[in-house]
Amino acid sequence: MSTLFISDLHLSGERPDIIKLFLEFMANRAPQSDTLYILGDLFEVWLGDDFIPPEAQPLLDALRAYASAGHDLFVMHGNRDFLLGDRFAELTGCQLLPDPTIIDLYGTKTLIGHGDLLCTDDVDYMKFRHQVRNPEWQQAFLAKSVEERIALAKQARQESKKQTSSLAEEIMDANQNTVEQVMLDYDVKQMIHGHTHRPNTHHFMLENEERTRIVLGDWYEQGSLLECNEHGCQLQALPVK
């Protein structure tokens, strides 16, 4: 058996092929594992647990089936679905994790996170993240009608596209100094995250010890997952059929 990690699926009704791929993954591949970690941005947008779009219900059912079969299911907030709440956890049988979280991965102390906290060069995004993670801001947003929330989310997405199109690629990537400081702060030799959509395994020396940072890929052109067992971890791709 194994432990699987995925992130940045950005599931939405506009991409039915990826929804199909995810449902196939949950029905066939995921049950071969002991544990599944979803490290943020499972959905393109999540406007609150009180509004479940029709296309999302089969996805929630698939997660519930996995958890009900005795597997461990953990979900972390991303920058698109930071409003996932207790009702979502109840519907899916998952446990919501704080970002970051330390886990014991087959004897290796490992720090897992969505990854956006590492992108400290993107100053405007870090300010936005601080704003929308504020409980008062979230309470005010959730008090609005669903129609208002949809309009605001659409506006925010359009503004985000404009901003990211003008940013240098390295600004939107993890800052290596931040990565190193976080690994020292949490005293870990291994880190797993998503967000940057740049799947890779990075090895580097830090204070005379080798450290590993594994970056998960997104689910746009294909599916991306990390499979770990007692022998190590391997990034894999899932083709869209």
How confident is residue 149, by pLDDT bands cut at 50, 70 and 90?
A: very high
How confident is residue 165, by pLDDT bands cut at 50, 70 and 90?
A: low
Residue 44 has pLDDT above 70, yes or no: yes
pTM of the model: 0.96
Instruction: State the Cα torsion 235-37-112-42 to the nearest 10°.
Output: 90
CA distance readout (Å), 89 to 85, 97, 190: 6, 10, 27
Neighbours of 68 (CB within 10 A): 11
Instruction: State the Cα torsion 103-101-226-173 to the nearest 10°.
Output: -140
Fold adopted by 3-238: Purple Acid Phosphatase; chain A, domain 2 (3.60.21)
Token pair recorded at residue 210: 């080798």
Residue 25 has pLDDT above 80, yes or no: yes
Chain position carrying tokens 């939107």: 172
Mean pLDDT of 189-204: 97
Mean pLDDT of 3-18: 97
Token pair recorded at residue 37: 């970690």
C-alpha radius of gyration, the chain, whole number = 18
Pick the closest to residue 185 from 211, 215, 223 (CA basis). Answer: 211
Mean pLDDT of 111-132: 95
